[in-house]
Every structure is written in structure tokens, then in C-alpha cells.
Amino acid sequence: MKKTIAVLPGDGIGPEVTDAAVKVLQSIAMRYGHTFHLKHALIGGSAVDAHNNPLPDETIAACEASDAILLGAVGGSKWDQNPGHLRPEKGLLNIRKHFDLFANIRPVKAIPALLGSSPLKEEVAKEVDMVIVRELTSGLYFGEPKRRTEKAGVDTLVYTRDEIERIVDQAFEIARGRRGKVTSVDKANVLETSKLWREVVEERKAFYPDVEVEHMLVDSAAMKLITDPRAFDVMVTENMFGDILSDEASVITGSLGMLPSASVRSDGFGLYEPVHGSAPDIAGQNKANPSAAILSAAMMLRYSFGMHTEAAAIEEAVMSVLEDGYCTGDLSSAGKQVVSTERFVTKVIEELERE
């Protein structure tokens, strides 16, 4: 297959970890006979420095001419005092909005070699294998009006039927390729948007008779995530609940440096990025854990290109390197040999070439 990928390294460790992911993609291309054209472009603080715009037009054009976007991370103290429109994270918000990337997908899966770093009991943590599907472009964070006076603040929570339908369908489709269960999380006992949400889930489920559906209130879901996350397969929820629950779920696997994510729309176009930020404290030191970025590239192969075998090969290679006893500094407590970013990537590629 021939695919064009926009590569947006961003700031801090962003360039180091995207370089790592690109090397892995190149190895996959060689081995499986694909051609990946890469278009590098600026986003975030580095784009503010070069073009006074966290999402320059050239970057949008590069993404529009691509089949998917691979992103590192944005941000750093250098730009913290900038006005809103010149802040690095504005680049991320704008790119999601521009491409209408309404579905945020975050897998949460036990990493056998790192079970010791999970706050959960090992026998619980080792069986966790779930995906959180969060609505990303509507809800409370985007609601109008917003208002602030001395005595009061107002945020508005709106969801339309169409917005709910498309995210719920996305979750059903993902569940079909997995264990076939969707848990829809809402607060239908008090919120009108949640009542509508629940209604739409009930309507859509008729189109997916092979998928089992359950509804759960967000407070129960928050408890269940730390008492028995094994019960979940695909969880789908609105923007704010998803923001909080996905961060809660992320600690289950034990390391921020391991977590990939995707933001996609229905036609398969998507943006793939690690969950972590630009880690300025370790930037430029060849210390960053490239796993989250590499696993994000694997998600891109799976969700945007339908390359399931290739995606699984990458995931297995990363797990093998950890099992062989190598890790980056962030996982030093796991009792393994600490290696540099570059060395870790070399190990992953060696593993890929062996498979």
C-alpha cells in the first residue's frame, strides 16, 4: 500500500519520539512492501517561533494532502506567558477542530513486563484490556454561552443527536473488532444531555445486534475502573467524563510513556499521538520513552490504514523488548536495564526484523 503521513514532531521530546516512530514505520514498510511518504511540518511552540502561529497554513496543507497525521507533543515554559492564540496547545485544539476529529480512542491494556508498576493488584491489572472512546469536539468544553462575572461563572453543556450518533457508532464498530461489548457512560439520572445520549445508544444498538450494551453512571464507572477494570471492553462517553475517566484509566498500566492515542473521524482519517506531553525536563537528552509514540504509529496502521498484522507486529515488538529486560529511564523502577531512546528503538526494530 502507498500512504502519505504528515509528521508533526512539535516541541520538547516530541521530535525524539516521533523520529523513533518514523524509524519503526520505515522498518514496517520495508518488511511488508508498503510505501510511506512522510511530510514533516511544524506545530505548537516551534511553529509559533517560526511563523507566529501554532498551526500554520503550510501545516494544515501538509495534513490535508496526507492519509493520517503522526504527532509528538506540544508545549513548554518558553511559551507559557503567550496570549491564548499563540499558545502551543492552541495548535492541537485547532487541528482537531479543523479536521473534525471527534472520536478520541485510548486503549488501556496491561503490559505484562510492567505489572509491578500498576497501582492495582497484579492479578487484576494483568487482565485489563479496554478501549475508551471519548467524544472530543463538543460538550461542556465547547458549549456557548460561557460567561464570568464577579459572582458567577457559566458553562453550557449541549449535545446534538448527530454528535452522539457518530461517536456511539464509532464505539460499536470498535467493539465489533474486539470482544463485542460497549459500556456507555453517562449521568442520565440528572443531565438532559445524558438522557438523550442514552436514548441514542438504545436506538443505535439495533444496528449492531452482535454487540452487547450496558449503561453505567459516570460515578459508578469511576469506581469500577479501579476496583474491576477487567469488566470493560469498549467504554464510550462524552467529552468531560471521557477526559477524567481516560486519565484515571491511564494509571492502570503504570506508565505515561507507554500510552498511545488516536483522534479520528468516521472516514478513517486520524491524528495519532502519545498521551504524554513534551516532557521539557528530559528533552534533548536521548532519555524519552518512545513507546507511546511507536504504539501510536501502530494505532495509525490499524485504524486509518487497516493494516492489522503490521500494527500487531509493532505492539508485540515493543512488549518483547520490555520482556527482554530493556527500558527507558522512566521505567527504571521495573528492575530492568535502562537504555537510551535510540537504543530502545534499535531493539524494537531488531525485534521486528526477527518476527
Per CB under 6 A, residues contacting ligand NAI are 13, 17, 73-76, 89, 92, 256-257, 273, 276-282, 288-289, 292, 328, 330
102 CB-near residues (< 8 Å, 6+ apart): 135, 136, 137, 138, 163, 166, 167, 265
Catalytic residue among 126, 141, 205, 324: 141
The distance of closest approach from Cβ of residue 292 to ligand NAI in the complex, given in angstroms and rounded to an integer, is: 6
Could you tell me whether strands 129-135 and 153-154 are parallel, antiparallel, or unpaired per DSSP bridges? unpaired
Q: Residue 287 annotated as binding?
A: yes
163 binds, among Mg ion, ligand NAI, none (CB under 5 to 8 A by kind): none
Give strand ranges (E) for 144-180. 147-148, 153-154
- Binding residues vs Mg ion (CB under 5 A): 243, 247
On whether 186 is known to bind a ligand per the annotation, the reply is: no
191: left (phi over 0), alpha (psi -120 to 50) or beta: beta
Binding partner selected for residue 56 from Mg ion, ligand NAI, none, CB under the kind-specific 5 to 8 Å limit: none
Q: Cβ 19 to ligand NAI, closest distance in Å?
A: 13
Q: How many helices (H) and strands (E) does the chain have?
A: 12, 14
DSSP state of 51: H
Residue 208, φ and ψ in degrees, nearest 5: -130, 65
In the residue annotation, 326 being an active-site residue is answered as no
Cβ proximity to ligand NAI, 273 vs 351, nearer residue: 273
Q: Which is nearer to Mg ion, 275 or 298 (CB)?
A: 275
What's the CA gap between 90 and 270, in Å, rounded? 18
The phi and psi torsions of 263 (rounded to 5 degrees) equal -125, 115
Of 187 and 276, nearer to Mg ion (C-beta) is 276
7 binds, among Mg ion, ligand NAI, none (CB under 5 to 8 A by kind): none
Q: Which of 19, 67, 233, 243 is catalytic?
A: 243
Q: Is there a cis peptide before residue 145, judged by omega within 30 degrees of 0?
A: yes
Q: Which does 247 bind (CB under 5 to 8 A by kind): Mg ion, ligand NAI, none?
A: Mg ion
Residues designated catalytic: 141, 187, 219, 243, 247
Residue ranges for the known binding site for Mg(2+) are: 219, 243, 247
